[in-house]
Amino acid sequence: MANSENPLRERIARELRERRENGLFRTLEQPRGISLFSNDYLGLASDPRLREETIRAIRESGRVGSGGSRLLGGNSEDWERAEAEFAAFAGTEAAIYFSSGYAANLGLLAAVARPGDVVFSDSLNHASLIDGIRLSGVRKIIYPHGDFVRLEAELERHGDERGAKFIVTETLFSMEGDFAPVGDLASLARRYGAELIVDEAHAVGVFGPEGRGLAAAAAVENEALAVVHTCGKALGSAGAFVCSNRVLKEYLVNRARTFVFSTAAPPYLAHQIRAAVRLARGMDAERARLAELARVLREGLRGEGFDVGAGASQIVPLFAGTNERALSWAESLQEEGFAVRAIRPPTVPEGTARLRFSLTAALTRDQIEHLIAACVNARRRASTGSACSAASGG
Ligand SMILES: Cc1ncc(COP(=O)(O)O)c(C=O)c1O
Neighbours of 134 (CB within 10 A): 14
Edge-first strand order for the sheet with 139-143 is 94-98, 240-244, 226-230, 195-199, 165-170, 118-122, 139-143
Spatial contact of 389 and 324, defined as CB atoms under 8 Å apart: yes
Active site residues per annotation: 39, 126, 170, 174, 199, 202, 233
Neighbours of 364 (CB within 10 A): 11
C-alpha dist (Å) from residue 139 to 113, 127, 147, 269 = 9, 17, 19, 37
> Which amino acid type is present at position 2?
A
C-alpha dist (Å) from residue 282 to 208, 219, 278 = 12, 20, 7
Whole-number Å distance between alpha carbons of 370 and 379: 14
Residue-wise pLDDT tens for the chain (394 aa)?
666 789 999 999 999 999 999 877 888 888 789 999 999 999 999 999 999 999 999 999 889 999 999 999 999 999 999 999 999 999 999 999 999 999 999 999 999 999 999 999 999 999 999 999 999 999 999 999 999 999 999 999 999 999 999 999 999 999 999 999 999 999 999 999 999 999 999 999 999 999 999 999 999 999 999 999 999 999 999 999 999 999 999 999 999 999 999 999 999 999 999 999 999 999 999 999 999 999 999 999 999 999 999 999 999 999 999 999 999 999 999 999 999 989 988 888 889 999 999 999 999 999 999 999 999 999 999 988 654 443 333 3
H-helix or E-strand containing 198? Answer: strand 195-199
Whole-number Å distance between alpha carbons of 116 and 161: 9
Residues sharing a CB contact under 8 Å with residue 232, sequence separation 6 or more, in sequence order: 39, 100, 101, 238, 239, 240
Closest Cα to atom 3, ligand 1: which residue? Answer: 201
Q: Which SS3 state, helix, strand or coil, does residue 337 take? A: coil
User: What pLDDT shows up at residue 334?
Assistant: 95
Residues sharing a CB contact under 8 Å with residue 89, sequence separation 6 or more, in sequence order: 210, 212, 277, 281
Mutating to test ligand 1, I would choose from 121, 230, 273, 343 the residue with most ligand atoms within 8 A of its C-beta, which is 230
Q: Give which of 281, 282, 311, 290 is closest to 360, Cα–Cα.
A: 290
C-alpha dist (Å) from residue 334 to 34, 73, 376, 381 = 9, 48, 14, 13
The percent of the chain in helix, strand and coil, each rounded to the nearest 5, is 45, 15, 40
Whole-number Å distance between alpha carbons of 169 and 277: 23
Residue 381 Cα to ligand 1 midpoint, Å, equals 35
Largest CA distance in the chain: 64
Closest ligand 1 atom to 170 CA: 1
Whole-number Å distance between alpha carbons of 306 and 392: 21
> Which amino acid type is present at position 197?
I
User: What pLDDT shows up at residue 228?
Assistant: 99
Whole-number Å distance between alpha carbons of 161 and 140: 13
Residue 171 Cα to ligand 1 midpoint, Å, equals 12
Whole-number Å distance between alpha carbons of 178 and 175: 8
Q: State the pairing for strand pair 118-122/342-343.
A: unpaired
Pocket of ligand 1 (CB under 6 A): 100-102, 105, 126, 128, 170, 174, 199, 201, 230, 232, 240
Axis-axis angle for helices 148-157, 182-191 (nearest 10): 20
Mutating to test ligand 1, I would choose from 41, 128, 174 the residue with most ligand atoms within 8 A of its C-beta, which is 128
70 secondary structure, DSSP code: I
List the beta bridge partners of residue 69. Answer: 263
Residue 50 Cα to ligand 1 midpoint, Å, equals 21
Mutating to test ligand 1, I would choose from 38, 126, 182, 259 the residue with most ligand atoms within 8 A of its C-beta, which is 126
Query: Which domains are assigned to the chain?
Result: 32-44+284-383 (3.90.1150.10), 62-281 (3.40.640.10)
